[in-house]
Amino acid sequence: MRLTWTAFTELLRCTLLGHLRNRLALALAVAFIPLWIAVARLCTSDAVVRIRLDAISASVSVPASRVAQVASALGAVTMVAGFVTFTETFQSRQMDRRLLLAGYPRLPMLLAKLAAVALTAALLALYTTILLWISLPVHHAVPLGLALAGAGLAYGGIGLLLGSLVRGELEGFFLIIMLSLVDTGLQNPVFNTLMDVAGVSAFPLYGVNQLALSSALTPHIPWSHGLLSLTWSAASGALALLVLHTHRPSRSPVSRRTGVRAG
């Protein structure tokens, strides 16, 4: 038990240090998120629009710029979380393999990666919630922060999965960027109202988008919709753990030969 806890804490520390060494990821987190929110605020009209929020089963009238800022914040969090997690997972493949061959237990390694995803999502959500609180009047900051964390968890899990599957970094970057752009675009209530797009509830951001918009722009808090992102996070995380479990060795060739001789 002590060995397992030691392995978990050490691997979590190494994973987080890998995030900190990724200067591009840090620059995206620190600069891209506020820049994207500012662009949405400056480039969107303050004209009042009427949008439909399924989470509260009602239509609300709000300035378009406020809707755009919340939607842009969600998009920025998903892209940064997916990018950071994918990059660390992809670049640590060989190191993880060496650690497993050296005898490190598999379960603590997998749990450390999930814990790193959760911490990354929480920090991005806290930072983005503060930025939105400064930029616009927010009705409920805590559920808004939880919605942003759910978005980070969902796409962090997707990044973890892609980092374990794809063969090249460019492929993973392209998939994360395209999925994030399509998802955030379809979840935009202004666009969805004009185009009447069906099937948006099947995408990862549907639940957290409804929770974020309702919490930021209305007095209502649809908690149940926030749970939808946890489903996506659990599914993508479980698939990533399955891929990591099946594609990486569990013990060294020396230990396998020893086991064969002993048998």
* Residue 101, pLDDT score: 78
Give CA torsion, residues 149, 155, 158, 163, to 10 deg. -100
Asked if 64 and 46 count as a contact pair (C-beta separation under 8 A), the reply is: yes
Residue environment code for 220-257, b if the CB has 16+ CB neighbours within 10 A, otherwise e = bbbeebbebbeebbeebbebbbebbeeebeeeeeeeee
* Residue 35, pLDDT score: 93
Give start and end residues of each alpha helix (H) in 22-63. Answer: 23-27, 33-43
How many other CB atoms sit within 10 Å of the CB of residue 17?
11
Q: What is the pTM of this model?
A: 0.85
CA 24, 26, 32, 35 dihedral sign is negative
* Residue 258, pLDDT score: 41
21: amino acid identity, one letter: R
* Residue 73, pLDDT score: 92
Q: What is the pLDDT along the chain (263 residues), one digit of tens a residue?
A: 566 777 788 888 888 887 777 787 788 788 899 999 999 888 888 888 888 888 888 888 888 889 989 999 999 999 999 998 898 888 888 877 787 777 777 778 888 888 888 999 999 999 999 999 999 889 899 999 999 999 999 898 888 888 888 888 888 889 998 998 888 888 877 666 555 556 777 788 888 888 999 898 888 888 877 777 678 777 877 787 787 667 655 554 444 444 434 44
* Residue 184, pLDDT score: 86
Q: Give the Å distances, CA to CA, from 45 to 72, 98, 127, 222.
A: 14, 54, 25, 27
Tell me which residue of 7, 214, 232 sits closest to 109, measured CA to CA: 7
Query: Which tokens hold the place of 141?
Result: 């900051």
DSSP state of 166: -
- The Cα 163–Cα 172 span in angstroms is 7
- The Cα 118–Cα 130 span in angstroms is 19
